[in-house]
Amino acid sequence: MAHISFDSSALTKFVHDNELSEIQPLVTAADKELREGTGAGNDFRGFLDLPVAYDKDEFARIKAAAKKVQGNSEVFVAIGIGGSYLGAQAAIDFLNPNFYNQQANRSVPEVYFAGNSISGSYLHDLVQMIGDRDFSINVISKSGTTTEPSIAFRVLKAKLIAKYGAAGAKERIFATTDKAKGALKTEADAEGYEEFVVPDDIGGRFSVLSAVGLLPIAVAGGDIDQLMQGAADARSEYTNPDVTKNEAYRYAALRNILYRKGFTTELLENYEPNLRLFGEWWKQLMGESEGKDQKGIYPSSANFSTDLHSLGQYIQEGLRNLFETVVKIDDAPNDVTIPDDDKNLDGLGYLAGKSMNYVNDKAYHGVVLAHTDGGVPVMTVNVPKQDAYSLGYTIYFFEIAVAISGYLNGINPFNQPGVEAYKKNMFALLGRQGYEELTKELTARLNK
Ligand SMILES: O=P(O)(O)OC[C@H]1O[C@H](O)[C@H](O)[C@@H](O)[C@@H]1O
């Protein structure tokens, strides 16, 4: 039995029983494309076996590096954008208490993220916040040439050198990048930083279980052995192409069935604030994998019950092109009992003695019924615990689901050609060498 369970029982109004068996041949074909490598983007299927086929020596080095940082740093900054930070931050938030950076008596450094925007204010404030404290950085970029992390790295490297000198700074810089190419690789080799590798056959959005995610997660105290074990067990679980046996494939099939009926936007939802970043990770995974050739489900996210008081109206009664996938934690790590209050002026007496997790659960059931009545299909991924094993399992569930889903929709789930368009324009407008013609063209367009 799968460790996490997928519940599509609320879909009866939207999907008939026969539809799953009728889409099965397409799922079987998608499975074949993925497993046999006959599908588009077949060079990027490394995520399939990563949970068992990872580099064990590097894994040990990651643990040693994490220990070193824990021993000599009050602050750790992970520099990266897209797949080079979302998985790490999602995992760290998922595995730690809310407000982990503010906890008293922490045994691990505070962890922050940089290089995921071009905001000068953000980087300025981060530098101020680090102040004179001891810190280390992990610069993460698969290509090694991405502008946002490169800028942040320059700034933070300069701060390290100013504080520790060039030799001391080197001891506090960890570079995660391609094994052979890119500016970051060249610099890491030249300067002698400790290096970790993003394997060639793993795309950025599928890289959280490589060094990209593992080093920051380990620095923050996460159990990366359990994380990999969860993913490895999911790998064994989700092998049968039969959608009645394989819940990840059933999820992929159902979202494709819904998409074909006009449900073109999917909201990934949670009922725990520290799963917000999980939704951000998922959006890149889904959006970059599926949104191409002028088609694909638009991935969005919502955080409940927070957004029930803002987006809730739209979800209940707006344009009927939405469906929802809830990531629901069965057994949240902590809870609060609602206290007695004799005066009962707030009218909450009927909840006295009940736990907040109990109320949260009732909210979830109420929402599923209300949204279903309102014409919104809801599916749920039940995750037993907010721990590393469950997280690894859940990550693998969504990774394999999106690969199948992409092939079902006739696209290459492993490339992202569309993200280059804005970059070219930005480089041209910044006057980068090699973009001279485009600079002229765009400047003329802007000055028209
Ligand atoms: O790791 P990097 O090469 O710096 O890339 C970081 C991110 O930016 C790119 O624009 C891609 O669209 C993403 O797939 C990638 O995760």
- The model's confidence at residue 155, banded by pLDDT at 50, 70 and 90, is very high
Give the per-residue pLDDT at 277.
Answer: 98
pLDDT over 70 for what percent of the chain? 100
Q: Looking at ligand 1, which atom is closest to the CA of residue 212?
A: 1
Q: How far is CA 385 from CA 116, 304, 328, 391, in A?
A: 29, 18, 9, 8
Q: What is the mean pLDDT of residues 364-391?
A: 98
Measure 139 CA to ligand 1 centroid, in angstroms: 13
* Count of alpha carbons within 13 angstroms of residue 431, beta-carbon side: 0
pLDDT of residue 136: 98
The reported pLDDT for the residue numbered 331 is: 96
- By most ligand atoms within 8 Å of CB, the mutation choice from 44, 79, 138, 142 for ligand 1 is 142
- The pair of three-digit structure tokens given for residue 248, joined into one six-digit string: 């990840």
Q: Does the structure show a pLDDT above 90 at 1?
A: no
Residue 133's CB is within 10 A of a number of other CB atoms, namely 12
Q: What are the CA-CA distances from residue 408 to residues 30, 258, 400, 412, 416 (Å)?
A: 6, 12, 12, 10, 17
Residue nearest to atom 13 of ligand 1 (CA): 82
Q: Give the confidence band of 448 by pLDDT, cuts at 50, 70, 90.
A: confident
User: Which residues are tagged catalytic?
Assistant: 288, 423
Q: Which amino acid residue places its CA nearest to atom 12 of ligand 1?
A: 419
Q: What's the rounded Cα separation, in Å, for the pair 395 and 93? A: 14
pLDDT band at 390 (very low <50, low <70, confident <90, very high): very high
pLDDT > 90 in the chain, percent? 98
Q: What is the pLDDT of residues 306-326, one digit of tens each?
A: 999 999 999 999 999 999 999
Question: All domains of the chain, ordered by start, with CATH?
Answer: 5-39+228-409 (3.40.50.10490), 47-222 (3.40.50.10490), 418-447 (no CATH)
Buried b or exposed e, range 363-393, using 16+ CB within 10 angstroms: ebeebbeebbeebbbbbbbebeebbbbbbbb
Closest ligand 1 atom to the C-alpha of 80? Answer: 4
82: CA distance to ligand 1 center in Å?
5
Task: Note the pTM of the prediction, 2 decimals.
Answer: 0.97
Q: How far is the CA of 224 from the centre of ligand 1 (A)?
A: 23
